[in-house]
């Protein structure tokens, strides 16, 4: 999907998402079909991936609205965003009109299972973000309770894990406490629903920002891109469960012997198709809704 389809000034561009200025108070998020693996963006898009991530986020923001305000105003394509001579079709189902927020300089991460950088720290010091954990825990094991483990947004390279006290120094005690409350409660509710549907949410990252003086949930929420989704039937402490969404892609890339530096290998159509199917399955399982009913979701 070319950027020429959006007739608004672009404010920011990430690996997957592009952000445009809609008016003084609102931004337009457009989620592309770009996919990255091992921190490298693939040349081939995954059809409908952007729609799935948008649909998953909209589902969760609706479900979690009792916990905190959120920034989503509408998933309809604004007329002013459609470039002359273009139709709204390319944008359908992948846009979010959102209220501007003053974003916290924190990544609000919640971990329910011992994985990723937390597992790496545990193997060195039996701690997680500086807090001691029980001895003898295994990789991918469920933690005694979910833990808020913030990190700082690194301007370059990887984010830095910090302690809660360091988060307090960055944003103040009240805001840090509220960020922890919102993040833990959103994770608990999301993980409980996902567990009923055969998906473990091992950990996730929330982006919080201030709107009208209140901390609000922003950006993408409990998606396969912002979280570790594991198939519950493939989880076993001591091993690394397959990632629900990108596993077909990662497995194929590993098998090619690619050295994980750009450019990535050309993806075969069946890997692209299997990856798309996994994203769609994640949405349908979690939400109980049909992706075919989402705008543009009929492959349109």
Q: Do 12 and 109 share a structural domain?
A: no
72, 100, 128 - which closes a domain: 100
β-partners of residue 203 are 111, 228
Q: Do 203 and 176 share a structural domain?
A: yes
Q: Do 187 and 200 share a structural domain?
A: yes
Q: Do 130 and 43 share a structural domain?
A: no
Q: Do 92 and 14 share a structural domain?
A: yes
Q: Do 225 and 141 share a structural domain?
A: yes
Q: How many domains does the chain have?
A: 2
Q: Do 19 and 66 share a structural domain?
A: yes
Report yes or no on 41 lying in a domain: yes
Paired tokens of 213? 């003086």
Residue of 76, 105, 57 lying closest to 217 (CA atoms)? 57
Report yes or no on 164 lying in a domain: yes
Q: Do 120 and 91 share a structural domain?
A: no
Report yes or no on 76 lying in a domain: yes
Q: Do 194 and 80 share a structural domain?
A: no
Report yes or no on 265 lying in a domain: no
Report yes or no on 182 lying in a domain: yes
Between 49-63 and 269-287, two packed helices, what is the crossing angle to 10 degrees?
10
47, 74, 100 - which closes a domain: 100
What is the C-alpha to C-alpha distance for residues 69 and 60, in angstroms, rounded to an integer? Answer: 12
What are the residues whose beta carbons fall under 8 Å from the beta carbon of 101, sequence distance 6 or more? 71, 209, 210, 211, 216, 218
Between 269-287 and 247-256, two packed helices, what is the crossing angle to 10 degrees?
150
Q: Do 85 and 112 share a structural domain?
A: no
pLDDT, position 164? 95
pLDDT, position 157? 65
Q: Where are the beta strands (DSSP E) in 187-242?
A: 199-211, 214-218, 227-231
> Long-range CB contacts (< 8 A, 24+ apart) of 234-238?
235/140, 235/200, 236/140, 237/138, 237/139, 237/140, 237/141, 237/142, 238/138, 238/139, 238/140, 238/141
What is the C-alpha to C-alpha distance for residues 81 and 237, in angstroms, rounded to an integer? Answer: 47
- CA 165 remoteness from chain centre: 25
Domain that holds residue 137: 103-234
Q: Residue 41 maps to which CATH number?
A: 3.30.200.20
Q: Residue 230 maps to which CATH number?
A: 3.30.470.20
Q: Which residues of the chain have pLDDT under 70?
A: 1-4, 155-157, 299-300
pTM of the model: 0.95
Cβ distance 42 to 264 under 8 Å? yes
Report yes or no on 228 lying in a domain: yes
Q: Do 72 and 163 share a structural domain?
A: no
pLDDT, position 156? 66
> Distance of CA 112 to CAs 121, 138, 239, Å?
15, 13, 16
Place of tokens 């950990």: 203
Paired tokens of 45? 């898009």
Q: Do 48 and 107 share a structural domain?
A: no
> Distance of CA 88 to CAs 5, 77, 91, 99, 259, Å?
8, 7, 5, 21, 39
Residue of 60, 53, 58 lying closest to 32 (CA atoms)? 53
What are the residues whose beta carbons fall under 8 Å from the beta carbon of 183, sequence distance 6 or more? 108, 109, 110, 148, 206, 208
Report yes or no on 81 lying in a domain: yes
Report yes or no on 282 lying in a domain: no
In the chain, what is the greatest distance between 2 CA atoms, to the nearest angstrom?
A: 63
100, 121, 139 - which closes a domain: 100
- Cis status of the peptide bond prior to 76, with omega within 30 of 0: no
């Amino acid at each position: 999907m070319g950027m020429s389809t959006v007739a608004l000034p672009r404010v920011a561009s990430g690996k997957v998402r592009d952000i445009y200025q809609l008016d003084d108070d609102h931004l337009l998020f457009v989620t592309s079909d770009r996919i990255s693996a091992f921190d490298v963006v693939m040349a081939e898009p995954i059809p409908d991936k952007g729609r799935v991530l948008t649909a998953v986020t909209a589902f969760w923001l609706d479900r979690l609205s009792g916990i905190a305000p959120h920034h989503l105003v509408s998933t309809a394509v604004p007329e002013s965003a459609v470039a002359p001579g273009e139709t709204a079709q390319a944008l359908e189902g992948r846009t979010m009109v959102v209220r501007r927020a003053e974003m916290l300089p924190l990544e609000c991460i919640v971990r329910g299972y011992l994985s990723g950088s937390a597992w790496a720290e545990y193997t060195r010091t039996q701690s997680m973000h500086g807090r001691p954990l029980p001895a003898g825990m295994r990789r991918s094991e469920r933690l005694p309770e979910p833990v808020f483990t913030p990190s700082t947004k690194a301007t370059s390279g990887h984010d830095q894990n910090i302690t809660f006290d360091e988060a307090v120094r960055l944003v103040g005690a009240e805001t840090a406490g509220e960020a922890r409350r919102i993040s833990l409660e959103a994770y608990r509710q999301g993980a409980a629903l996902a567990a009923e549907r055969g998906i473990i949410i091992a950990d996730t990252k929330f982006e919080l920002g201030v709107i009208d003086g209140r901390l609000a949930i922003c950006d993408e929420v409990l998606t396969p891109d912002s979280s570790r989704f594991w198939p519950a039937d493939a989880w076993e402490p001591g091993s690394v469960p397959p990632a629900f969404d990108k596993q077909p892609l990662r497995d194929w890339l590993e098998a090619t012997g690619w050295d994980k530096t750009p450019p990535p290998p050309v993806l075969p159509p069946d890997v692209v198709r299997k990856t798309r199917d996994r994203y769609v399955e994640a949405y349908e399982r979690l939400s109980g809704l049909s992706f075919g009913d989402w705008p543009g979701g009929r492959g349109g």
